[in-house]
Amino acid sequence: LTRYTSSEFAALVDAQIDENTFTIVFAEESLSPEDLSQCRLKTQTCFKNLQKIERKSYLPSVEEPLSVLEGSNAQSVQLLADGSLSERIVPQAGGIVVVNLSVGDYASHDALIDAVFTRLRNEHPNILAIYTGKTPSFSYSTLVRKTRQADARQEEEEPVLERLNTTGFLMVYEKFEYGAVDGATPLTTVKFDNVVRVAENSSDSAEQPSMHFKLTGASATVDLFFQVTQGSWEITGVKFNDKDYYLRNRVHINQHFSYHCNNWEYLTTDLSEKIVFTEVQLQPFFADEEGVTPPSVRFGDSWDCVGFTSGGILSGLFLILIFIIIGSYGISWMMDIRTMDRFDDPKGKTIIVNAAE
């Protein structure tokens, strides 16, 4: 709604009157724009006489209008219970009369305003009539935008990824843990400080290049063995503290891709111990055909550790199977439809149709 302050409303009133204007104010106890639009008397509006006035202005929201209109020279008139006014209104130049509509409904007030305004306009043509309310009948809520800031202590800290980098190898991870598989004791967390390439177990041969990298930390070492076959690299072995660990799923990825996994687990052969990398991404960088090793500063496209038989894929295959069964059943029904191939009675008279040119 367009809101007018008291000073803005006073300026509008002053622009409409002069020293010879008689001003009459009809003041409801409560009035809002919703009353003007929603009040109904059977099928008609409660303000049918107000609608007939051609020259009028509508101000939907004014701040304390009576404080501007009620002055030292304003005359106050009350509406009595029988529908009459407490005293007769006599128009005069420069005068202000406030009619307090304290009893009755909007429809009766509309009829009273029409009768009083018509009489006063005939007696004094230079007249200004104002219809307003002392208080709004509806309460309005103001939209207040506030920026909500959570307590710094309650905000979850973003995980810090550890970065290991050397010539031909790049790896980041959030956490490394090791311990028993049964979960009887909590897993031990270790942070790796350095990674080096073991030249003795690495080969740059064009036929079958391989690399061996050793991750070292406090009382823990992890050995990773990589090999390239037919344009794809794979992890051929993993050792933790010189003990072999195995991955249930084979890691075999395009040579220019990196490997990413949220929870990368390796187990011992007896399935009693395990090592776990959380949020890990790694990539070995092998030399190209010209013998140049690309810089290990950024990962290639990521290959995630998602198996083929994931829950979503199995659900999709199950739905496809249901659709195939329903479709096959419907097609078999359609193929069983038999149409009549004879339309005449073989025992009756033969139907002869003559075709004339």
257: tokens are: 């891709």
pLDDT value of position 36: 77
- Asked if the model's pLDDT at residue 324 lies above 90, the reply is yes
Separation CA 331–CA 218 (nearest Å): 68
**pLDDT tens, 209-228?**
899 999 998 889 999 999 99
Nearest to 253 by CA among 222, 292, 299: 299
Q: What are phi and psi of 257, to 5 degrees?
A: -105, 160
Separation CA 75–CA 96 (nearest Å): 6
Domain 162-304 bears CATH identifier 2.40.160.110: yes
**pLDDT tens, 109-153?**
888 888 888 888 898 889 888 888 888 776 655 556 666 665 555
Sign for the CA dihedral angle at 69, 72, 73, 78 comes to positive
Burial letters for 29-55: b for 16+ Cβ neighbours within 10 Å, e otherwise?
Answer: eebbeebbeeeeeeeebbbebbeeeee
- Rounded to an integer, what is the distance from CA 5 to the centroid of its chain? 37
Nearest to 132 by CA among 67, 39, 82: 67
Out of 132-146, 161-175, 181-195, 222-236, least confident range: 132-146
Separation CA 74–CA 98 (nearest Å): 7
Q: Check residue 346 and report its DSSP letter.
A: T
In the chain, what is the straight-line distance between the N-terminal and C-terminal CA atoms, in Å? 84
Q: Where in the chain is the domain with CATH 2.40.160.110?
A: 162-304
Query: pTM for this one?
Result: 0.46
Instruction: Tell me the pLDDT of the chain averaged across its residues.
Output: 83
- As a whole-number percent, the residues of the chain with pLDDT over 70 amount to 87
Q: For residue 172, with 0-12 CB atoms within 10 Å meaning exposed, 13-18 middle and 19 or more buried, which class applies?
A: middle
The backbone region for 62, taken as left when phi is positive above 0, alpha when psi lies in -120 to 50, beta otherwise, is: beta
- As a whole-number percent, the residues of the chain with pLDDT over 90 amount to 24
- Asked if the model's pLDDT at residue 182 lies above 90, the reply is no
Separation CA 252–CA 236 (nearest Å): 9
DSSP 228-266: EETTEEEEEEEEETTEEEB-SS--EEETT-EEEEEEEEE
120: tokens are: 């006063």
pLDDT value of position 94: 84
